[in-house]
Amino acid sequence: IRPLVKTEDTENTAALSRDHTIHIAHSGLMTICGGKWTTYRRMAEDAVNHAAMLGQLEERPCPTRNLRIHGHCEEAENLGDLWIYGSDAYPIRDLIRQQPDLMEKIHPDLPYTRAEVAWGVREEMARTLEDVLSRRTRALLLHAQGAIDAASGVANLMAKELGKDAEWVDKQVQSFCAMASRCLPNERGVS
């Protein structure tokens, strides 16, 4: 979902600009609209610069323009399948060294390991099976049936990490499978 800025002369979304705009209300309220995830820093810089100008504040260079955000890693190509985690790939590798069973994939047809599940729970606040299989990994998107098949094993690993019981596991698996089953193809495509 992208918040597009519609102008009066634009008829369809394909013609809408992906650029951001800044509006100043008569009250002085400044609103920034539109933009893209990949330009959020530029949007913030423009908004701060605009507010500084309106407030007649001293002009200063943007300190975050070249700031490396969490996860930045110069050697991403050396990280294998964990490249997506950037610098967090190193502690995930440490998890695998400490617990070799975490290197096991959650499903043979999915690229995700048990270590990624453990990392999501321990470090990224993943608290539901749906969160892990739909967002922390893209298991549901890549292979809905594989995600359903992996649900019980992933929920059991999460329960161990979170100190949850078998009832929690059952509820998580039932809830996830009910939701995920809507992503399976049927005779008309996907339901």
Q: Are 24 and 55 in contact (CB under 8 A)?
A: no
**What's the pTM value of the predicted model, to 2 decimals?**
0.71
Give the ranges where the chain is alpha helix by DSSP (H).
40-54, 89-98, 114-123, 129-130, 139-142, 144-162, 166-180
Domain parsing of the chain, residue ranges: 1-67, 76-190
**The domain defined by 76-190 carries CATH number 1.10.8.870:** yes
pLDDT tens-digit series, residues 17-67: 678 889 999 998 999 988 887 888 899 999 999 999 999 999 888 888 888
pLDDT at residue 1 greater than cutoff 90? no
Query: Which range (63-67, 123-127, 136-140) has the least confidence?
Result: 63-67
pLDDT of residue 164: 99
Task: For residue 11, name the pLDDT band (cuts at 50, 70, 90).
Answer: low
